């Protein structure tokens, strides 16, 4: 358990007088969840009265109801242990699942500053490593350096909002008036101008908890420290808007950690505000169904640190990175020789790619900079490149962004799914040429429908090259909860040079489905290209005839 000792080291730095001689003792007792709290998901269709009666019946209270996945965050009476409450709730026929309010920990390692060069962006051998063991950032910056319309959520310990090299890239909520005590945009959060602090429940996500060591300010700087301003470092995005969503705080006096309920609330907030990508440099070994459901329902790119145990997460998973969800990108860490960092988790099924994560120079609170190690530091490299992708083409789907990142890697024989390390230039390069095979879905009829209606649509596959192409195509629907169901295919087609094939389909909207937005995706993948075309269908209750 190497990671535990490293985390403890951060704690020791924050609380020198308190913790040094007891570092191992504290770290080995790192708690798995918060006492006195429970997360409960009730079965669909259970009445509010029954829920209220069950909760009141065992003396619990509702802390919060999280609408994204309709989850109840409960406070238990002191007479009821989490273990006992789990048994009670799991045995109730009203309950779909109940779980503890798990704690996650940052995947960071501190490192003394010695080589203040950002080798991960452009490696010339300046740190004694291998030239070009980097993400080719200067080449990518010839394509784009980012833009102010891209918002990236950093779900972390907050951010130094006034940092000289970050302040200009801080997100501002256009619908909210600062400091008037009014929820101007009606999103449920008062004066949420620059993100939110879910850990302390206030509108100031400043990175102040000492035990967290400036973690969120560091990850933010890698994504989007202001570029070309003559100060400090540069982010992968010179220009971007960073939304700090603070989840980490000090628990039990010494632990920098984040609870499931705060993580889920932050995911919900980012999703509600339309954010398409988030940075998640944290984890632990407990599986949370609620966290899984929230990530799926967010319908955004969820980039997560693989973890720092030096472990194969196919066998010993860390969450959230190891959930089997299409919208998660799990990131391992490499060094300046393109070798897997000794601390990095890996896994050919559960980890997607690697990115620089050793001796990474970035911003810290108080206009300072320092080198940190960790998959925590690798993750924002991938988020940064996702930000560049969104500035290049805001219409990219979640799967399209993930495909470009995974297929843009430089193959390095690493023990991860792609065997590769992130390459920004390759990834952005996919957008410079017309996709080899494109798919277009055309609705043949209204897109506002009711259960029992028939929908008709046409799917066209076009080969944009002068060569015959084999393409795998399918049509699937994404439900309001983010899960997907295949409608047509997948099937394999051979497209003639510069040819198009198309077909009409019809489907009945099943009776009894929930109302909401159902997105139909056409998808076409060939050897070197991937394309999706989304069409939204609104499912509404049928109006009674008058």
Binding site for Ca ion (CB under 5 A): 165, 176-177, 180, 182-185, 187, 189, 191-192, 226, 229, 231-232, 234
Catalytic residue among 163, 215, 218, 381: 215
We find the least distance from the C-beta atom of residue 15 to Ca ion, in angstroms, to be: 31
Q: How far is the CB of 216 from Ca ion (least distance, A)?
A: 18
d(CA 259, CA 224): 26
73 is catalytic: no
The CA distance from 335 to 353, in Å, is: 13
- Residue 404 CB contacts under 8 Å (≥ 6 apart), including other chains: 389, 396, 427, 428, 430, 431, 530
- Region of 24 (left: φ > 0; alpha: ψ -120 to 50; beta: rest) is alpha
Dihedral of alpha carbons 230, 241, 305, 390, sign:
negative
Instruction: Kindly tell me which of 228 and 538 has the beta carbon lying closer to Ca ion.
Output: 228
What the block records as the tokens of 161 is: 């909002």
Judged by CB, which is closer to Ca ion: 173, or 281?
173
Measure the CA angle with vertex 257, ends 253 and 260; round to 5°.
Answer: 130
Q: Which C-beta is closer to Ca ion: that of 361 or that of 475?
A: 361
- Find, among 484, 483, 486, 495, the residue nearest to 525 by Cα: 495
| CA distance linking residue 283 with residue 257, whole number of Å | 9
Give the shortest CB-175-to-Ca ion separation in angstroms: 7
- Burial of residue 17, with CB atoms counted within 10 A of its CB: 0-12 exposed, 13-18 middle, 19 or more buried: exposed
Secondary structure class of 91 (helix, strand, coil)? coil
For 504-543, b where at least 16 C-beta lie within 10 A, e where not — what string? eeeeebeeeeeeeebbbbbbbbbeebbbbbbbebebeeee
Q: Which is nearer to Ca ion, 229 or 517 (CB)?
A: 229
Residue 13 near residue 364 (C-beta atoms within 8 A): no
Q: Which residues pair with 104 in a beta bridge?
A: 258
Least distance CB 231 / Ca ion (angstroms): 4
Distance, in Å, from the CA atom of 527 to the CA atom of 203, rounded to the nearest integer, reads: 47
Shortest gap between Cβ of 68 and Ca ion (angstroms)? 16
Catalytic: which of 107, 134, 136, 156? 156
Residue nearer to Ca ion on the CB measure, 95 or 226: 226
Closest to Ca ion by CB, 94 or 272? 272
Residue identified by tokens 């060939």 is 526
- The answer to whether 86 touches 36, Cβ cutoff 8 Å, is no
Looking at the Cβ atoms of 117 and 314, the one nearer to Ca ion is 117
CA 62, CA 274: separation in Å to the nearest integer?
A: 27
**391 catalytic residue (yes or no):** no
Specify whether the CB–CB gap between 324 and 352 falls below 8 A. no
Best CA proximity match to 85, nearest among 65, 57, 64, 63? 57
Sign of CA dihedral 263, 385, 343, 24: negative
State the nearest-atom distance from the C-beta of 227 to Ca ion, in Å: 6
Q: Which is nearer to Ca ion, 269 or 372 (CB)?
A: 269
Q: How far is the CB of 178 from Ca ion (least distance, A)?
A: 6
The active-site residue, picked from 257, 271, 284, 376, is 376
Does residue 24 have an active-site annotation? no
- CA torsion 22-24-27-29 (nearest 10°) is -90
Identity of the residue, 362 or 519, whose beta carbon is nearer to Ca ion in the bound complex: 362
Catalytic residues: 156, 215, 376
């Amino acid at each position: 358990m190497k990671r535990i000792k490293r985390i403890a080291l951060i704690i020791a730095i924050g609380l020198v007088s308190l913790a040094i001689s007891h570092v191992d003792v504290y770290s080995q007792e790192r708690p798995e969840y918060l006492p006195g709290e429970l997360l409960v998901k009730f079965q669909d269709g259970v009445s509010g009265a029954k829920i209220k009666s069950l909760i009141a019946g065992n003396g619990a209270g509702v802390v919060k109801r999280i609408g994204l996945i309709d989850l109840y965050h409960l406070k238990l009476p002191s007479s009821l242990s989490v273990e006992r409450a789990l048994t009670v709730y799991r045995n109730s026929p009203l309950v779909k699942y109940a779980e503890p309010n798990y704690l996650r920990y940052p995947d960071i390692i501190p490192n003394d500053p010695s080589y203040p060069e950002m080798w991960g962006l452009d490696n010339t051998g300046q740190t004694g490593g291998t030239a070009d063991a980097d993400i080719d950032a200067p080449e990518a910056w010839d394509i784009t350096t980012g833009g102010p319309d891209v918002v990236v959520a950093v779900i972390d310990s907050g951010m130094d909002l006034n940092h000289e090299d970050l302040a200009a890239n801080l997100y501002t909520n256009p619908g909210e008036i600062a400091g008037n005590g009014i929820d101007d945009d009606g999103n449920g959060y008062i004066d949420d101008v620059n993100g939110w602090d879910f850990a302390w429940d206030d509108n100031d996500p400043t990175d102040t908890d000492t035990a967290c060591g400036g973690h969120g300010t560091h990850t933010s700087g890698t994504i989007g420290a202001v570029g070309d301003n003559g100060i400090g470092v540069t982010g992968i995005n010179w220009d971007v808007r960073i939304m700090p969503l603070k989840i980490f705080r000090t628990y039990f006096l010494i632990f920098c950690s984040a609870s499931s309920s705060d993580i889920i609330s932050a995911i919900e907030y980012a999703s509600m505000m339309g954010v398409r990508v988030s940075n998640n440099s944290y984890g632990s070994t407990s599986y949370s169904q609620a966290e899984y459901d929230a990530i799926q329902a967010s319908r955004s790119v969820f980039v997560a640190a693989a973890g720092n145990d030096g472990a194969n997460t196919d066998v010993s998973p860390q969450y959230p990175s190891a959930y089997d969800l299409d919208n998660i990108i799990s990131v391992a860490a490499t060094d300046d020789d393109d070798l897997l960092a000794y601390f990095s988790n890996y896994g050919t099924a559960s980890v997607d790619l690697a990115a620089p994560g050793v001796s990474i120079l970035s911003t810290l609170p108080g206009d300072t900079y320092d080198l940190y190690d960790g998959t925590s530091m690798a993750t924002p490299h991938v988020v940064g490149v996702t930000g560049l992708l969104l500035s290049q083409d805001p219409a990219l789907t979640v799967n399209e962004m993930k495909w470009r990142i995974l297929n843009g890697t430089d193959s390095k024989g690493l023990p991860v799914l792609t065997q590769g390390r992130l390459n920004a230039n390759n990834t952005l390069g996919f957008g410079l040429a017309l996709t080899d095979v494109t798919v277009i879905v055309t609705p043949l009829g209204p897109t506002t429908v009711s259960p029992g209606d028939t929908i008709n649509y046409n799917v066209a596959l076009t080969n944009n090259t002068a060569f015959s192409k084999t393409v795998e195509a399918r049509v699937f629907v994404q439900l309001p909860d983010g899960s997907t169901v295949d409608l047509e295919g997948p099937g394999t087609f051979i497209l003639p040079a510069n040819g198009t094939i198309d077909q009409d389909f019809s489907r009945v909207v099943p009776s009894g489905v929930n109302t909401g937005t159902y997105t139909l995706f056409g998808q076409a993948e060939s050897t070197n290209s991937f394309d999706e075309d989304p069409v939204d269908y609104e499912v509404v209750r049928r109006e009674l005839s008058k």
